[in-house]
Amino acid sequence: MKARVHVMLKDGVLDPQGEAVRHALGHLGFSGVEAVRQGKVIELDLAATDKAAAEVEVKAMCEKLLANTVIEKYTIEIA
């Protein structure tokens, strides 16, 4: 199975990388961009064959390592 985890900063947490991208886009002529939030995508190849068990396992990975749950939120896709 494959899992994809999307990690983003929570609303209200400053995103200096996103702001730098928004500023750079403005300098490149893309003046209509009002805000940018930057995150990360983590893809995992899993040995699990049960989708529910895989989701529980990936959630544990996120809580322990993949996301800083104090300032980040995450979503999980299992395929």
CA atoms within 13 A on the CB side of 2: 5
- At residue 45 the predicted structure's pLDDT band, cuts being 50, 70 and 90, is very high
Say how far apart CA 40 and CA 72 lie, in whole Å: 11
25 backbone dihedrals φ, ψ, rounded to 5°? -60, -40
**Which distant-in-sequence residues (6+ apart) come within 8 Å of 3 by Cβ?**
43, 44, 46, 54, 55, 58, 76, 77, 78, 79
pLDDT for the residue numbered 43: 98
37 backbone dihedrals φ, ψ, rounded to 5°? -120, 130
Chain segment 8-38, per-residue pLDDT in tens: 999 999 999 999 999 999 999 999 999 999 9
